[in-house]
Amino acid sequence: MDKRVLNSPVEVADRIESLDVLRGFAVLGILVMNIQLFAMPGVAYFNPTAYGDLNGINFFIWLISYMFINQKFFSIFSLLFGAGICLFADRAEARSGRSAGLHYRRMFWLLVFGLMHAYLLWTGDILVAYALCGSVIFLLRNRSPRALVVIGLAAFSVVSVLFIAIGMTIEFIPDEDVAEIAAVWAPDAAKIDAELLAYRGGWFTQQTQRSTDTLAMHTIGLPIGLFWLSAGIMLMGMAFYRWHILSAVRSDLFYCWLALVGFGVGMLVVAAGAWWNFAAGWNWESSMFLGWQFNYWGSLPMAFGYIGLVMLAVRRGWLSGLQTRLAAAGRMAFTNYIAQTLICTTIFYGHGFGLFGRIDRWQQAIVVIAVWGLQLWWSPLLMRRFRYGPLEWSWRALTYWRIPGR
């Protein structure tokens, strides 16, 4: 068989519709998480009392985001990425008996895209972490689903155990190091003002702050946190793929139970975390090492609950018009993810309208809804005319060393 046929991109007809719907759902939802990082100093995402108003409607918007969005949609996105690795490998091996070369070329170019995104546009990039995690977990793709879940939970637990250990040994850490840790959770006004000044400036003014923040993320945040979190969830996504959970072929009853148990357990844990943190006044001793763990662990079953709900909607044909738009957004999720960065940095950073740190959470919600509207409008238009989104097309061309069809 012609090598060009063996090493060729997935055709539209071969796509799994439920995966596209879920991916579109996830890429839109993740903007609710990221808008806080686009619009405010980074500390406000982790410690909402560190910056910005948290009363009235702003508190309500924060609470909705915390309870239903924060980390839940990142978890769905990561599950889908893990499932996508298995799907890509299975299809490549069915064509040619090999997948490793294509996979690692694919991850290399994702890393390149991610580094450009992180260092040139926005510190909050997840593509670098995804490329690195994808390069490692690929080696485990043929393990049994049960083993993938066990290994995934073990990896996911690393961050939790590490922070508990740090919290338990804090009294033995030198005072100057303790002061640095506390300043990460609640930076002083001078540090916040410096971040505000940087991102309200032009692109070159931003670049010093962005490079510093991104380097810290890649040398500290990634190895001790984001890598283990992402890899653990991706491994569970591989298991979900092997169990055919993400293709909407399990029974309605299965997905109902997945949604009910996922939301039932997850919401209780996340709500307990909100109570704990406010009771402790969001102080670093309680919230930085223990308080955040409620959402960390509660978000995982809630992500499963969302998956159950979306799969049930696909099976039952609920909101079919919206599903069509979500599927289109999911088919070009890479493009839409980067488009969110381009739109939001233009709105909030100094090379655009310079609103960084100047609008409240309720106003950020309006921006999110507007971007959703744009992406649900343009995604079907592009997908009717083209086979791939612009970045998906570029990624495929670089992966397969050939120009994909339009």
Q: What is the pLDDT of residues 22-50, one digit of tens each?
A: 999 999 999 999 999 999 999 999 999 99
Amino acid 239: pLDDT: 99
Q: What is the pLDDT of residues 171-215, one digit of tens each?
A: 888 888 888 888 889 999 999 999 999 999 999 999 999 999 999
Q: Does residue 405 sit within a domain?
A: no
Alpha helices (H) along 40-126:
43-46, 56-68, 72-96, 100-120
Q: Does residue 123 sit within a domain?
A: yes
DSSP states along 148-195: HHHHHHHHHHHHHHHHHHHHHTGGGS-HHHHHHHHHHHS--HHHHHHH
Q: Does residue 406 sit within a domain?
A: no
| Cα separation values, 179 from 171, 182, 187, 224, 225, Å | 12, 5, 10, 20, 21
User: Any residues with CB less than 8 A from the CB of 287 and at least 6 apart, and which?
Assistant: 47, 185, 276, 277, 280
By residue range, what is the domain housing residue 214? Answer: 3-400
Q: Does residue 323 sit within a domain?
A: yes
- Tally of domains within the chain: 1
Amino acid 15: pLDDT: 76
Q: Tell which phi-psi region holds residue 55, choosing left (phi > 0), alpha (psi between -120 and 50) or beta.
A: beta
Q: What is the pLDDT of residues 288-309, one digit of tens each?
A: 999 999 999 999 999 999 999 9
Amino acid 2: pLDDT: 43
The rounded distance, in Å, linking the Cα atoms of 323 and 317 is 8
The answer to whether the CB of 404 falls within 8 A of the CB of 396 is: yes
Q: Does residue 125 sit within a domain?
A: yes
Fill in the amino acid letter for 112. Answer: V
Amino acid 43: pLDDT: 95
**Could you read off the pLDDT tens digit of each residue along the chain, which spans 406 residues?**
344 444 555 455 567 999 999 999 999 999 999 999 999 999 999 999 999 999 999 999 999 999 999 999 999 999 999 999 999 999 999 988 899 999 999 999 999 999 999 999 999 999 999 999 999 999 999 999 999 999 999 999 999 999 999 888 888 888 888 888 888 899 999 999 999 999 999 999 999 999 999 999 999 999 999 999 999 999 999 999 999 999 999 999 999 999 999 999 999 999 999 999 999 999 998 899 999 999 999 999 999 999 999 999 999 999 999 999 999 999 999 999 999 999 999 999 999 999 999 999 999 999 999 999 999 999 999 999 999 999 999 999 999 988 876 5
